[in-house]
Structure 1
Amino acid sequence: MSNCCTPDGSCHTDAPAKVVYKVEGVGSAHCQGVVAKAVGALDEVAAVEVEIGTGLVTVTPAAAADEALDALIAEAVDEAGYDFAGRAAA
């Protein structure tokens, strides 16, 4: 039994839920790298994945995601030269 499991055998994680954002203009590996570097540099971001073509940016926050995180990511994306379109529809 790992340390994430309770005595009754059920498991849980304390990891925050991933959040998916939409960024316009991610059409190449270069763009993917620029956006990933900009978002990944934020202390509030534990991990980031960027999809070429769709512009979907999946962020694993270091803590619970909120509007402040959204604003930080929007600013990082804008400063990198891309258009932040907000959270992707679920």
Structure 2
Amino acid sequence: MTNVTWNVEGMTCGHCKQAVEKAVANAGAQAEVNLADKQVTITYDEEKVTPEVLREAIEDQGYDIV
């Protein structure tokens, strides 16, 4: 398993947290969102999903990875 932490702009509330976590889960990984730091830590299997797919899943929800 691989872990990656990204800074994500636009997350401000519990709904944002849920939206990001659900999008990442639907892409085949697990996310832990820290709203205070505006970060998401993702745990994923490199054989099943790529970072590009995970980025797209988050950006499709309207958030920007910086």
Q: Fold conserved (TM > 0.5)?
A: yes
Structure 1's unaligned 5+ residue stretches are 1-15, 86-90
Answering whether residue 54 of structure 2 is matched by residue 73 of structure 1, we say yes
CA separation in 1, counterparts of 2:37 and 2:52?
A: 21
Q: TM-score, normalised by structure 1?
A: 0.62
CA separation in 1, counterparts of 2:45 and 2:2?
A: 10
Structure 2's unaligned 5+ residue stretches are none
Answering whether residue 3 of structure 2 is matched by residue 18 of structure 1, we say yes
Q: Which has the higher strand share?
A: 2
* 1:79 Cα deviation from its structure 2 partner: 0.7
**Structure 1 residue corresponding to 2:31, chosen from 48, 51, 57:** 48
Tell me the matched-pair count.
65
* 1:78 Cα deviation from its structure 2 partner: 1.2
* Over 2 Å off, 4+ runs: none
Greater RCO between the two (CA within 8 Å, min separation 6)? 2
Q: Which has the higher helix share?
A: 2
* 1:62 Cα deviation from its structure 2 partner: 2.1
If you compute each CA radius of gyration, which structure gives the higher value, 1 or 2?
1
